[in-house]
Amino acid sequence: MPNDNPTIRAIYNPIAGRRDLSAFLAKLSQELEIWDYNFEITPTTGPGDATRLAKDAPETTHAVMAVGGDGTCRDVATGLLGRSTPMIVVPAGNENILAKYIKAKATIDALVATIVEGTVTSYDVGTLNSSPFLLMAGVGFDAEAVKRVTESRTGHVSYLTYAKPLLQTFWQHRFPNLRVTVDGKTVFDGHGLAFVGVMPRYAIGLHLLANAKHNDGLLDVCVMPCNSKRQLIGLSVAALLGRHVRRKNVVYCKGSNVRIESSDDNVPCQFDGDVAGALPIECGIMPQALRLMFPPID
């Protein structure tokens, strides 16, 4: 007889974060059997796999789990854009920014509760040169640090993996000249750092895009003038205290289309903690393009 139980497809990045979660997923599979769910564990083996596996999930799939870091979540979401199948976040990276934002946890009880009692919510998706992102794009110092980490990575990463690349970036970074245009209006032209995104939270708990909402159909933009290590330290302290938006000459606004370009060569960009090429970039917004399953409210 055919098995009519609802199916959960888990797309699993084996090298995400600091540890292997295959044993954890096997235990989750056993628990979900008790709840009469079919559980498919589908590991990725290379770039593009997560998006393909999500796109290939049948329309009848109850939900697709993104098991990995923020990059894995982005790749899975790309395969689910415009579909009714929701995504469940299983934090298995280092920062897990999206998971922290929606309060998702990688425990058996929390995931079962999300599947059984969770709420499906529409979520805006940003684009960078037509490639989707879920959190934010960065240009300048943080993008260069991400590029250095990516170039030195060989497998699982920890916070220590970031230490040397961050120090190298701090001492060697040359703050690029940026021209930022929002909905056809130039809002900044000078040396600095720029962030564009759909949610407030960034790494280490920073809320760089403090007023961002995940379903308002707009991109938030924050540009910080900076041309020295001293200014960078000052901006970092202000950001840690949540006061960066109030600093003199910092630009904060919202819009539907953002273009960032530079007269300098090879200015790196990142999105969701992954390398995203170099300037120029065009950022747009796909309102409520993703269905995301939030954990139940405690």
Mean predicted confidence (pLDDT) in 194-222: 93
* Measured CA angle at 45 (ends 131, 121), to 5 deg: 45
Asked if residue 92 lies in contact with residue 105, where contact means CB atoms within 8 angstroms, the answer is no
Domain(s) labelled CATH 3.40.50.10330 in the chain stretch across: 7-117
Q: For 156-174, how does the pLDDT look when each residue is reduced to its tens digit (9 = 90+)?
A: 455 556 567 667 676 777 8
Domain 131-287: state its class. mainly beta
Residue 1 is predicted with a pLDDT of 37
Q: With H, G, I as helix, E, B as strand and everything else as coil, classify residue 140.
A: coil
Domain(s) labelled CATH 2.60.200.40 in the chain stretch across: 131-287
Report whether pLDDT(108) > 60: yes
Please give the model's pTM, rounded to 2 decimal places.
Answer: 0.90
Mean predicted confidence (pLDDT) in 277-298: 95
Q: For 216-273, how does the pLDDT look when each residue is reduced to its tens digit (9 = 90+)?
A: 999 999 999 999 989 888 888 988 898 998 888 999 999 999 999 999 999 999 999 8
In the structure encoding, which two tokens stand for residue 107, read together?
Answer: 């425990």
Residue 235 is predicted with a pLDDT of 87
CATH number among 1.10.10.10, 3.20.20.70, 3.90.1150.10, 3.40.50.10330, domain 7-117 = 3.40.50.10330
Mean predicted confidence (pLDDT) in 64-74: 94
CA distances from 217 to 70, 122, 223 (A): 21, 11, 20
Residue 205 is predicted with a pLDDT of 80
